Chain A
Amino acid sequence: MPEKTTVNPGAVAGPGTTGDTVDLAAPGVGAAAVEAAGGPANKPRSLGQDAWRELRGRPMFWIAGALLVLLIVMAIVPSLFTGADPDHADLRNHYLGEPQWSHLFQVDWFGYNKQGQSVWARTVYGARASIIVGVCVTFAVTVFGGLLGMLAGYFGGWADALLSRITDVFFGIPLLLGALVLLQAFTNRTVWTVTLGLSVFGWMQLARVMRGAVITQKQSDFVTAAKALGAGHTRILFKHILPNAIGPVIVVATIALAGYISAEATLSYLGIGLQPPAISWGVDISAAKDVLRDAPHVLLIPSAFLSITVLAFILLGDAVRDALDPKLR
């Protein structure tokens, strides 16, 4: 029986997806598969591990990742970065002193603001609001929008028509305008109210992405195969469709996270998001706008941190997309 001999470990998978397309694809394809054939380093690997392998090789991922780790640590334990109290106001320092570039990590590294507070300390402590709002809004909209999109995409028909129309209605409301109007109703606004405001108007894009991804996966042969085995909706949704549909959702969510951080800053700048004494980059930028000419550093430092944070998330999103979507390779 020659069957057994066919099982040599040098399995070359054909073109990534379809078997019969062009044989041009065969050589280059499925880096993972080819590697699997490579020989002794033939360990089983999930696609998640493949994505990680892919990410590891990307400098962009490491740059974005390093920045984000730094920012997240900053948000969790700001005291690591500055010994100064961001609320401590010493009016004697009112706009005193240009940034002292050589005073790394010290109170007057970036000078003082109008109230005589350390710009460096306030910037460090401001990270927390941005990261919390960004992460929490993203989490909320991914769960809510994702669930809605999943149900709409999977069940189709009336459920889809209804949910899609609701999504369309919300799409008609600009994120900032909607949040602005909603947040006005709250007199005492914290990071949680801002999170709520942004979540209510920010889930639509994720719902759409999830719906599209689910519809694509729903038609795939392995889902049909599961149905033919008699699998129920829950199994099909969570075991077969979700793991394959989640990729694009993660990518969109990562990039959207950057948007929520800027939205929070914008709201705070407009005075509708966080309010003083809460510390936020938006609040600080807002407070500094009047003195742009005299003390530009007071505005530029928090702005620079905001931009870098947003950029880091976008870069991360791009890297993740490339890793999760091998078709783009």
Chain B
Amino acid sequence: MAEPTKDAAREPILEVRNLVKHFPLTQGILFKKQVGAVKAVDGISFSLYEGETLGIVGESGCGKSTVAKLLMNLERATSGEVFYKGQDISKLSGRALKAVRRNIQMVFQDPYTSLNPRMTVGDIIGEPYEIHPEVAPKGDRRKKVQDLLDVVGLNPEYVNRYPHQFSGGQRQRIGIARGLALNPEIIICDEPVSALDVSVQAQVINLMEKLQDEFNLSYLFIAHDLSIVRHISDRVGVMYLGKMAEIGTDEQIYDHPTHPYTQALLSAVPVPDPEARAGRERIILSGDVPSPANPPSGCRFRTRCWKAQDKCAEEVPLLAVPERFATTGSLAAHDSACHFAEEKDVVGAA
């Protein structure tokens, strides 16, 4: 697959191949019998390059948060591989896993629950050093913690405070400082601003962009807010029901979407401008996302798709550049998992 990034020859820093996570559904107490599986993530592949931000968007239940957990090894993948600089990390455990964790860190969605209320800010940000003592000798740690607080825009004198003494935005900064402590190369951000007030979201997004430049971080930015994803991402992947529907550069996805789901998603984004809204085409999808325990055959989106035909029920569409665009060199020539991919002009988010 030709990755139309700035430098196609680059090796990805993180490469996900055919990642699958099925949560078994069991019955019985003592003798558990598997009666099915929730196919939370069902074979997705993507690459993350050094210094870039890959946005993953999708609605609740599409598996985007499970992807984050799989990449962090918080859940074991059912199958598939995750390569970090060429090394498969999805099956690591013990010491080897601990070593990899230093390079891949995470920022959580809810700043109210992701910080231990019984620990001081200094202890929270310093904990990575206690777990990985080789990163910073004991004497340096306090200084390092204070530096980190400074980096994320908090007063270094706050080390002895407790999380409940901070507001949501400040707590998220603390969470980011903890993620930065080990000097990771990759940070997986699972909805990092969706729990924050609108006026504070922009502050945190700016901080994250600043840190990315400063430390050459690669972000996997998972969110449901399409306009924020567009702002921060270099490339964007759209997930639906455990599968990647479409992936490409932000311009390709937002201005030249070819997958009907992406088009519907974009057209549903509320735009804070009634003028731009007038005359704009809106696609209102009917129904709800089907259950991942029993996804539709063929294309998963077909039950809500206005273009669905018999072929969609029979054949799973592959994530590839649609043939009709392959040679055109237009921005529509990017990976899209639809049998009937075509461009549709929906006004993009933002």
Contact = CB atoms under 8 A, between A and B. Distances in A.
A226 B106 CA distance: 10
Interface stretch (B50-58, B111-119, B296-304, B311-319): B111-119
Interface string B181-221: 01000000000000110000001001100000000000000
Given A16-B164, A19-B196, A229-B105, 16 more contacts: A7-B155, A11-B167, A14-B112, A15-B112, A19-B112, A19-B168, A33-B165, A36-B165, A45-B162, A45-B165, A46-B162, A220-B113, A222-B117, A229-B127, A230-B102, A239-B119
B178 interface: yes
A4 interface: yes
A6 B169 contact: yes
A53 interface: no
B300 to A, nearest CB: 28
B74 interface: yes
B165 A44 contact: yes
Interface in A41-57: 44-47
B117 A47 contact: yes
Interface in B95-122: 97-98, 101-102, 105-106, 108-120
A244 interface: yes
A11 B169 CA distance: 10
Contacts of A222: 113-117
Interface string A212-249: 00000000111011111111100100011001100000
A187 interface: no
- Across chains A and B, which 3 residue pairs bring their CB atoms closest together, nearest first? A3-B153, A221-B114, A243-B118
A154 to B, nearest CB: 16
10 contacts: A13-B165, A13-B167, A18-B113, A44-B160, A45-B165, A225-B178, A229-B101, A239-B116, A239-B119, A243-B118
B165 A19 contact: no
Contact of B112 (A1, A2, A17, A232): A17
A244 B130 CA distance: 20
A19 B194 CA distance: 10
B132 interface: yes
Interface string A1-40: 1111011000111111111100000000010110010000
Given A7-B153, A235-B131, A228 B112 contact: no
A142 to B, nearest CB: 19
Nearest to B206: A3
A235 to B, nearest CB: 7
A44 B166 contact: no
A235 B131 CA distance: 9
Nearest to A244: B118
A3 to B, nearest CB: 3
Interface string A55-74: 00000000000000000000
Contact of A221 (B110, B131, B196): B110
Contacts of B114: 221-222, 224-225
A13 B110 contact: no
A230 B117 contact: no
Nearest to B129: A229
B143 to A, nearest CB: 19
Nearest to B150: A4
A32 B196 CA distance: 21
